[in-house]
Structure 1
Amino acid sequence: MQLRVLGSSAGGGFPQWNCNCPQCDGVRQGRVRATPRTQSSVAVSADGRDWLLINASPDILTQIRATAQLQPARALRDSGIAAVLLMDAQIDHTAGLLMLRERRSPLPLLATREVLAELEDSLPLTRVLSHYCGVAPHVLPLDGSRFSVPGLPGVVVQALALSSSPPPYSPHRSAPRPGDNIGVLLHNPATGARIFYAPGLGALTPELLELLASCSAVLVDGTFWSADEMQRLGLGTRSAADMGHLPQSGPGGMLEHLARLPASVRKVLIHINNTNPILIEDGAERAALAACGVEVAHDGMTIEF
């Protein structure tokens, strides 16, 4: 099986279109060693032809053009995207659904009841799509059970409720529910290998750490380096925790947790905000990650499992 990173940045991409922080301005001007990134999304396939798209980024058309596997050209109108799984209802994970409207059949859409409700009412993307291809909704179970993806034999998934926040537009923003944000555990039935993917993660429990320790690779929240990153740069008033993210550095940070995992687990940070100094390839923060055996995801990264 294969997981391909289509987009590795947080919302807004890198460089962000309206941002002149040191990373964004530096990469535009060529003053820093950094690689541009599109907004967070991955795709998974058992056969290399039919793919489960996990999160539909606003950059989906750019990502499809950069990924030949998503256009296998089996017919005059065709796509390698067989189904879409949404991990939350954030705009940067759902807006790309509108770009898939030219499908000739309803788009299989896997999400929790909470996310499907947000996309029916608060941000009515599914109602809009009903006037185009339409969607075929599938409710994700949160009881720990494994499930197969329609039209994708060999792809086995578990959905796990995570501690994070629903979107700012949600009426539940101040009172998160278990289905507002999930992680996914991807299984290869043939080898027993597992990958855990969670671009939004506000906390790591002992139970979740135990699960991560049993995986061959984990791709987890790399949004912010420090808890007060946005505040220090004058780009916002909320902390990483306020936005539902666990920063990498500091006591109780992501790096401290990842250090508890066995060396056999491949550790990758994804969903990296444009303000995060780990984007600078020859910077001190990137060196600190390398010393911990932690990688930074990039668009086009491929993981076989």
Structure 2
Amino acid sequence: MKIRILGSGAGGGLPQWNCNCLNCRRARHRSGDVLPRTQSSIAVSADGVEWVLVNASPDLLAQLRAQPDLQPARALRDSGIAAVVLTDAQIDHVTGLLMLRERTTPLPIHACAPVFDDLSTGLPLVPLLGHYCGVRMHTIEPGVPFTIAGCAGIRFTAMAVASKPPPYSPRREHASPGDNIALLIEDDASGSRVFYAPGLGGIDADVLGTMRGAQLVLVDGTFWTATEMIELGLSTQRAADMGHLAQCGDDGRPGMIDWLETLPRGTRKVLTHINNTNPVLDPHSVQHARLRAHGIEVAHDGMEFQV
């Protein structure tokens, strides 16, 4: 099973178009070793030919241009994208669907009911795409495994996780199960397992148990501290208010580093969906060094895993 990171940044990417924080300045002017990053998405494949997109970011066209093997060119109009799975209805995870409107067949989308509800009302991408390629909706249920045509041998299971629905959703402050999911991705032949959660506001016993059974864990790396955006004067909200668990603990509660430290030896631990303000983006920072000391990697665009 191949897992490829198409985008590793949080909303806005790196550099963010209107941001002049230190990371954005370095990425924009290619000074230092801070790499630009597009907004978060991964691609999953059993054979390297047919791929499932997990989320479709606004940067999707640039991501596909950077990954030419997702265009197998078997016909005059073709794509290696077999389907899209959505972990939530956040703008930075769904607006790339519009970039797929030139498909010649309806686009298969797998998502939970609350996500389809938001994408049919507050951000009506589903009816909009109905005027172009059309959408084939597959409603998934947390805890119920599902497979995807064109991706034989790989099984997906959604897990409801603590996070936040998008700001435009009527459930913003009262999330329903399925508004935000993590994915357990399993290879039937090898038995290998990948846990993917780009938005994760907290970790409970079920989520931790699933993480402990995975060989590769790709998780929310949005913020270094709970008050990062407040300290920079960029927001009045804490990480938890935006649905994210910071890497560092806060008020006696464990952070992402603490949780990842409990995983079995040999688990590959990678942070993704990294906000442009996060100091770990600088590979020479003390924060990045702390992650390395805990065996935690920082994702970058184009990173690939064979699991």
Q: TM-score, normalised by structure 2?
A: 0.97
Aligned-residue offset at 1:30: 4.2
Aligned length: 304
CA contact (8 A) 2:141 2:178 kept: no
| Alpha-carbon distance in structure 2 between the residues aligned to 1:30 and 1:136 | 41
| Alpha-carbon distance in structure 2 between the residues aligned to 1:31 and 1:283 | 14
Aligned to 1:146: 145
CA contact (8 A) 1:88 1:115 kept: yes
Aligned-residue offset at 1:33: 2.0
**What amino acid maps onto 1:285 in structure 2?**
Q
CA contact (8 A) 1:108 1:150 kept: no
Aligned to 2:40: 40
The aligned runs of 1:15-26 (5 Å cut-off) are 15-26=15-26
Aligned-residue offset at 1:198: 0.1
| Alpha-carbon distance in structure 1 between the residues aligned to 2:30 and 2:4 | 27
SS in structure 1 of the partner of residue 241 of structure 2: helix
SS in structure 2 of the partner of residue 149 of structure 1: coil
The aligned runs of 1:152-171 (5 Å cut-off) are 152-171=151-170
Aligned to 2:117: 117
SS in structure 2 of the partner of residue 97 of structure 1: helix
| Alpha-carbon distance in structure 2 between the residues aligned to 1:141 and 1:239 | 30
CA contact (8 A) 1:106 1:134 kept: yes
| Alpha-carbon distance in structure 2 between the residues aligned to 1:247 and 1:176 | 20
The aligned runs of 1:198-213 (5 Å cut-off) are 198-213=197-212
4+ runs of 1 displaced by more than 6 Å?
A: none
Structure 1, unmatched stretches of 5+, are none
Aligned-residue offset at 1:263: 1.4
| Alpha-carbon distance in structure 2 between the residues aligned to 1:199 and 1:156 | 19
Aligned to 1:299: 301
Aligned to 1:283: 285
Aligned-residue offset at 1:287: 0.3
Q: Is residue 2:104 matched to residue 1:100? A: no
Q: Structure 2 vs 1, CA of residues 152 and 29 (structure 1 numbering), >3 Å: closer, same or farther?
A: closer
Q: Is residue 2:212 matched to residue 1:179? A: no
**What amino acid maps onto 2:211 in structure 1?**
L
Root mean square deviation, CA, Å: 0.9
The aligned runs of 1:122-141 (5 Å cut-off) are 122-141=122-141
Aligned-residue offset at 1:150: 2.4
Aligned to 1:218: 217
Structure 2, unmatched stretches of 5+, are none
Counting aligned pairs with the same residue, the percent is 56
Aligned to 1:192: 191
**What amino acid maps onto 1:301 in structure 2?**
M
Aligned to 1:79: 79
**What amino acid maps onto 1:187 in structure 2?**
E
| Alpha-carbon distance in structure 2 between the residues aligned to 1:155 and 1:65 | 25
